[in-house]
Amino acid sequence: MTTWQDVEQSVPEFAQRVRALFDAHRHKTLATIRADGAPRISGIEAAFTDGDLVFGSMPAARKSADLLRDPRFALHSATVDPVEGEEAKWPGEAKIAGRAIPAGPIADGPEGDSFHADITEVVHTHLNAEATLLVVEWWTPAQGLRSVDRE
């Protein structure tokens, strides 16, 4: 299992940028797989706690049923538009994909199911310093950090 702490230890500066994007806004978007194989996206809150990425789901929520049946997920940070004329200051967006590991009922707060992330990929998409190229950086446990620039 690959935890958020593993990402931080492997690529600390990259992990810090990704976490800042996730921490900047309370609500994120979670993609799961429905029983019929179709994708589902849902709003969700997630947190980095004790070296883990954790998130929960209300009782009987479809996203929880999706994750219990097929644990694959993709979590997307909130997105904000670049400010016109200040595109180089745009922080970008972040994504984390992996498998949701059931962690039992939510201990603090409302009822629901708790999950820990077994991380398979972390992505940060942003602009280069001149705001002329899209930079896609991604990290996987097997291949480490890679990057590609796109026009």
Domains of the chain, start order: 4-150 (2.30.110.10)
Of 61-65, 96-100, 116-120, which range is least confident?
Answer: 61-65
pLDDT at 39 over 90: yes
pLDDT at 125 over 80: yes
What pLDDT is attached to residue 108? 74
Nearest CA to 63 out of 96, 89, 29 is that of 29
The whole-chain average pLDDT of the chain stands at 94
CA angle, corner 118, sides to 10 and 51, nearest 5?
Answer: 55
pLDDT at 13 over 90: yes
Global pTM reads 0.94
What pLDDT is attached to residue 65? 93
Q: How many CB atoms lie within 10 A of CB 86?
A: 9
What pLDDT is attached to residue 139? 98
Question: Do residues 90 and 82 make contact, with C-beta atoms less than 8 angstroms apart?
Answer: yes
pLDDT at 109 over 70: no
Report the C-alpha gap between 98 and 120 in whole angstroms. Answer: 5
What pLDDT is attached to residue 106? 74
**In terms of C-beta distances under 8 Å and separation of at least 24 residues, what long-range contacts does 81-90 make, across chains too?**
82/127, 82/131, 87/127, 87/131, 88/127, 88/128, 88/129, 88/130, 88/131, 90/126, 90/127, 90/131
What pLDDT is attached to residue 105? 74
For 62-79, what is the mean pLDDT? 96
Helix (H, G, I), strand (E, B) or coil at 148: strand
